[in-house]
Amino acid sequence: DGGITQSPKYLFRKEGQNVTLSCEQNLNHDAMYWYRQDPGQGLRLIYYSQIVNDFQKGDIAEGYSVSREKKESFPLTVTSAQKNPTAFYLCASSTGTALYEQYFGPGTRLTVT
């Protein structure tokens, strides 16, 4: 089955700790994206990558970092510099052109206390 997997589904961390969220796709898509969703709000773009070894900041990149060493994988690190890290994080992938939709993973709910 082709798709996007995110792990874990729920993640709990103490304040001051970095945490890495996993995102893997087997759709052979070039582009991958990370979004943050807060209760009752839309999705905000954190980072995106259109090809391996390249990525760009989205609208809210501060306090986050990413890597794209393999086409299939786009991990997101939430650093201790992120002031309000508790949120629902969604990963997506696409062919990278505007004509085609993005496919989303099931999300990771991060709670930092």
Q: Which is nearer to other proteins, 16 or 40 (CB)?
A: 40
- Identify the bridge partners of residue 24 per DSSP, sorted by sequence position: 5, 73
At 49, which amino acid appears?
Answer: S
Q: Kindly tell me which residue out of 85, 94, 110, 112 binds other proteins, with binding defined by CB under 8 A.
A: 94
Stretch that binds other proteins, among 12-20, 68-76, 78-86, 88-96 (CB under 8 A): 88-96
For residue 13 the two structure tokens come to 């961390």
At 34, which amino acid appears?
Answer: W
**ω into 75 cis (within 30 of 0):** no
Chain position carrying tokens 């807060």:
38
Q: Kindly tell me which residue out of 21, 31, 46, 66 binds other proteins, with binding defined by CB under 8 A.
A: 31
Restricted to residues 63-82, the positions that interact with other proteins (CB under 8 A) are: none
35: exposed, middle or buried (Cβ count in 10 Å: 0-12, 13-18, 19+): buried
For residue 75, the minimal CB distance to other proteins (Å) is: 17
Residues at the interface with other proteins (CB under 8 A)? 4, 6, 31, 33, 40-43, 45, 48, 50, 58, 90, 92, 94-107, 109
